[in-house]
Structure 1
Amino acid sequence: MRTVSKLLLLAGTAGALAYPWLVPNYYLVYAGVLTVMYAAMATSWNILGGFTGYVSLGHSAFFGLGAYGTGLLITRAGMPWVLALLVSAVLVTVAAAVIGVAAVRVRGASFVIVSIALVSVMNLLVQGWRSLTGGATGLQVPAPFELSRGQTHMVFFYLFLALLGLVLLTWWFISRSRFGGGLKAIREDEDKAEMLGVPTAAFKVVAFAVSALFVALAGGLYAVWFRSLDPIFVFSIVSGVYMVLMSLLGGVRHLFGPLLGALIIAPAGEYFLIALGESQIHLTATGVLLVLVVLFMPEGIVPRLVGRPKGASIREDTAEQRLQEVKG
C-alpha cells in the first residue's frame, strides 16, 4: 500500500511539474495557477480548521492583507518583490497572532462570526484609506519580470506550486508532532484537553498564526502575479468559503484532502464563471455545493476512496488517545 502511495505521489508531482508544458494555451496555464493557489490556501486553512475543528470563514482577510502588504511595500517603500513578500507575510503573521489571542477565546458559531467580521473590517479599512491603498479603485503593482503575460503565468505556476509543497510539508510535519497531537485533542474535547494540561490557548493561537502565514504568502504572490488589486475581491468572503469548501470536499483529516477539493472546485468555478458570465449564479452554486457536502459527505472524498479507520467519524479519535499522543 505504501509503495502504491509513493508511486501515486511521484506521478502527481511529475504531472504537476509538466502541466504548463502539456496544455495547449496560456489560458489553461492561468487556470492552473488559480487552482494551485487555491490548493495552497485551502491546505493552509486546514492547519487551523482540520486540526482544531475551528471553522474560519475569514481567512481571506489574511490573503488580502498579504496582497496589499506586498503591493504597498513594493510601490510605496520601493522594496524588491521577494523581500516585500517575506516582510508582508511576517507582519501579517504577527497581526494574526495578536488577533488570534482574542478570536480563539470564542468557539463554534461565535468564532465563525468573528472571522467574518474580520474580513468586513479589513475590506472597509482598505477602501476607506484612499491615500495609502487607492481605496475602491484598487492598487496597481509593477511587473516583477520583463516577460509576456503568458510567460509570467508559467513562472508563477511554479512559485505557487513551491508554496503548495511547503504547506503540505508543514501540515505533514505538524500531524506527526506533539503539537499536532495537542491540536487534535482540542478538536476532540477542548475542555478535557485543557484540564489535563494541554496549553489550548497557546496551541490555537500558534495554529491560527501559522495558517495565516501561508495564506498571506499566497496573497503576496497573487499581488505580484496579478498586479491589479481589487479590495472587493481580495477581501471577499467567497475566497474564505472556497477554502472551507475545498477542505471539506476533499477531507479535512487528510493531507491531500484540500488539494483534491481544489482540483475539483477551482476549475469548476472558472468554468461556470466563463459559461455564466459575471452573474451571481456561480456563487449560488458554490453555496448549494457547500450545504450538500456538509449534509451528505461531511468527511470528504478521501475517506470514501481509502476507507476510514474502524470507528472513525468526524471526530476520528477519542480525546484520550490524542492526549496520550501529546504526552508521548
Structure 2
Amino acid sequence: MAYFQLRMSLLLLTSPTSLAVLLLSFFQGWAGVDAITFTFTNRCADTVWPGLLSGSGTPPLETTGFALSPGSSRSIYAPPGWSGRFWGRSGCDFSSSGKGSCATGDCGSGEIECHGAGATPPATLAEFTLDGADGKDFYDVSLVDGYNLPMLVQAAVADCPDTGCLVDLNERCPSELRAGDGRACRSACEAFGRPDYCCNGAYGNPDTCHPSQYSQLFKSACPKSYSYAYDDATSTFTCNHTDYTITFCPRSSPSSGNSKNGSRRPSHEQLEDDVWLASLKASSGAGTMITASWLVSVVFQAIFAIAVVILLSQQEHPVLLS
C-alpha cells in the first residue's frame, strides 16, 4: 500500500500545481510533529534499567524498558498529550537474550522490555501528563508505591521547579518496611494493607485520609515528593510544554524551598485535574496502532521529500516557477 501511494505521488509531480500542494502538505505534516524529549541519565554506581509505562488511552513510546550503564544517557520522545510513568529497576540479571528479572522495580515481564506492565512496588516513580489542563505539563515524583532509587526530575525551562527524592531512604527505612534485601523501602500500605494507610474504603478521600508516621518519614526526607495519595499541594508541579531530564542517583539536590530552577507551588486551579493519581494501565491495541501509524507517516514523508529533491534536481528549471 505504501509503495502504491509513493508511485501515485511521483506521478502527480508532473503537475506544478500538484507538486506545490504536496510540498505544502509535507511541511504541514512535519510542523505537527511536536514531540517532548525525555532524557534519562544514570549517575548511580551500577547499571539501572528504566521502565516506561504509557497511561491508558495514550500511545506507547519507542521502548518500554532498557539498560542504562553508569554515566550514560538516553533520550526518548513522547507525542503531545502523552501521559505515563517512569521508574528505575535495580539489581537486574538479564541473559544475552534479554531474559531475566530485577531485585527492585521489576515489571514481571521476564525481559528487559516491560511490554505494558508497571513496576512491582516498592519503586520510586516519575509521573507525567503532557498538555493537560490549560495546555500545561503536570509532573511529580511519587513514593506512594514505596522507594527504591534516588531520582531527580528537571524541566528544560529555567523557571519550572525541580522535583524528586535524592535521599537514600533505604538507609533510614524502618525494619518493618525493608524489602529487596535492603535495596528498597515499602510503603505502609503495601506492608500492612490498612485502609488508613492505603487511602481506600472509608479513608478514600482527602478529608479522612491523612499522613501517617511512615508517610511523614518519607516527606521529611523528600519534601517535594508524593508521600501518600492526597499529598497534592506540595508535590505536583506544572510547566509549559518543554523537555525533561530524569536522573537516577543525582549528585545535587533541589531544596524544599529553593531549587536552582525555581520553587513555585502549583495553584489550586492547576491541581484541578489529578490524572496522575489514577492507575496507569497498559495501553490498548488502539494506542499501538496510533503510534505505528504516526511512525509510518513520518517515514513516508521523509521518502517523499527525498523523491522531490531528486526530481527537482533533474529539472532544467524549477517546476514551481514554470
TM-score (norm 2): 0.25
- Structure with bigger strand share is 2
Larger radius of gyration: 2
- Structure with bigger helix share is 1
Larger RCO, structure (CA 8 Å, separation 6 or more): 1
TM-score (norm 1): 0.25
